[in-house]
Structure 1
Amino acid sequence: MVNVYERTNTQTVELLATSIQKKRVGILGGTFNPPHLGHLVIADQVADQLELDEVLFMPDATPPHVDKKLAIDAKDRAKMVAASIHDNLKFNLELSEIMRGGVSYTYDTMVELKRKHPENDYYFIIGGDMVAYLPKWHQIEELVKLVKFVGVRREGFAIESPFPVIWVDVPKIDISSTLIRQKVKDHQSIHYLVAPGVEQYIKEHQLYLG
């Protein structure tokens, strides 16, 4: 039989647990090959508009939908992300997919993150062009129970999905990793397209020249 003290103590713990406000954490995943200013603008705008406490930049180990020959070593990509975000206190680097290795599936990652940090509410940020592909994502029916998807509106792409998506407007920044790799290969300037630390890292390690 549970006495009054035990029952009251249990109720107090439950009330405290429900009263603690969960941390709102955004996740911007990708290959980041290399990271560029467009990534930073998206993360900053989403964090501001959704009042996120933090945005995690999460490079993948082996992207499931990218030609492996085009993606440089994950450690190099992670170091460039770190160089991009070091001066923003809301931005942090998440290495769980690189540490796990292999093909990176968002579902597996989110199961791991929710187990480690049940106190967080996660907001997974994707481009508006990717929303249409959500039905094809690995374990999507279970994944939507673990995260809230945030879609960045893009001109020409529908804002409809069979899954719940929070839509955010972000200034259009016409920069891509493909463009930067091509410019480096052609010995053209990437100044103001990437963070200074990324530009320096690419030069020092002679990346994307082949």
Structure 2
Amino acid sequence: MSRNRKIGIMGGTFNPIHFGHLLLAETAYHQFSLDEILFMPTKNPYYKKLGNSVTEEDRVQMVKLAIKDNAHFTFSGEELNREGTTYTVETLKNLTQKNPDCEYYFIMGADSLYHIESWKDTEKVLQMAVILVAGRGDLSSSLNSQIEYIENKYDASIHFLNSPSLEISSNDIRRRVQTGESIRYLLPREVADYIYDHGLYVM
């Protein structure tokens, strides 16, 4: 009897994608014996306004460049192909309908877990996916409490992701480009080259 395929979902605006995202996904892949990680850029996240200087195509190309040398990382346009506001519950519903033999693992940061009750149909999200949450060391005790609270309230399956913490943010990378600071070692070289070649984040 074959087991269900275990698929990780790494979502985000990826504006731009960086080593923090990649390390988190790689850690999840090995720690939970996943078969594949889907890198899924969001189209129109309800919680974040995207600037106009970077196109959807720019974000897609940067993700593809960042993951191309990793055989178990796959680009997914699942959320980009839908119109309107992006909700995780709709994404998971579509994926499970298309691939009923797959088990989904949703990778998120600690901040997202603290706000998960404000998501659309929280209970359905937690029924359709195992949550893998990454947190900083200074959050560990409060994060454990939040995991326990959400698990008990929603009968959810939430696991702590033991990933090394890289204090890298897309916001800081954009700021560095704008101010002429180095972004080397913060993201893959091909992504940095793409940013400079296309004049992204200078305004």
Taking structure 1 as the reference length, what is the TM-score of the superposition? 0.88
Cα offset, 1:97, TM superposition: 0.5
Deviations 1:93-144 (A, max 9, x none): 1101001132111000111111111111000000112211111111111111
Secondary structure at 2:39 match in 1: strand
Instruction: Give the fraction of aligned pairs with identical amino acids, expressed as a percent.
Output: 34
Cα offset, 1:20, TM superposition: 2.2
Which residue number corresponds to residue 177 of structure 2? 184
* Runs (5+) with no aligned partner, structure 1: 1-18
> Which structure 2 residues correspond to residues 63-102 of structure 1 after superposition, within 5 A?
63-69=45-51, 72-102=54-84
Which residue number corresponds to residue 166 of structure 2? 173
Which residue number corresponds to residue 142 of structure 1? 124
Give the structure, 1 or 2, with the largest relative contact order (CA under 8 Å, sep 6 or more).
2
Secondary structure at 2:74 match in 1: strand
Task: After superposing the two structures, state which structure 1 stretch, 71-80 or 25-34, moved more.
Answer: 71-80
8 Å CA contact 2:38, 2:76 repeated in 1:
yes
Alpha-carbon separation, structure 1, partners of 2:171 and 2:137: 19
Task: After superposing the two structures, state which structure 1 stretch, 22-31 or 63-72, moved more.
Answer: 63-72
Task: After superposing the two structures, state which structure 1 stretch, 196-205 or 70-79, moved more.
Answer: 70-79
Kindly provide the amino acid, as one letter, of the partner of residue 88 in structure 2. Answer: T
Kindly provide the amino acid, as one letter, of the partner of residue 47 in structure 1. Answer: Y
Q: Which has the larger radius of gyration?
A: 1
Secondary structure at 1:99 match in 2: coil
Moved over 6 A (4+): none
**Aligned-pair Cα RMSD in Å:** 1.3
Cα offset, 1:71, TM superposition: 7.5
Taking structure 2 as the reference length, what is the TM-score of the superposition? 0.90
Kindly provide the amino acid, as one letter, of the partner of residue 105 in structure 1. Answer: Y
Secondary structure at 1:145 match in 2: helix
8 Å CA contact 1:33, 1:71 repeated in 2:
no
Paired residues in the alignment total 192
Q: Does 1:25 align with 2:18?
A: no
8 Å CA contact 1:58, 1:94 repeated in 2:
yes
Kindly provide the amino acid, as one letter, of the partner of residue 206 in structure 1. Answer: G
Cα offset, 1:70, TM superposition: 6.5
* Runs (5+) with no aligned partner, structure 2: none
Cα offset, 1:205, TM superposition: 0.8
Residue among 136, 144, 153 paired with 1:154: 136
Alpha-carbon separation, structure 1, partners of 2:11 and 2:189: 21
Kindly provide the amino acid, as one letter, of the partner of residue 195 in structure 1. Answer: P
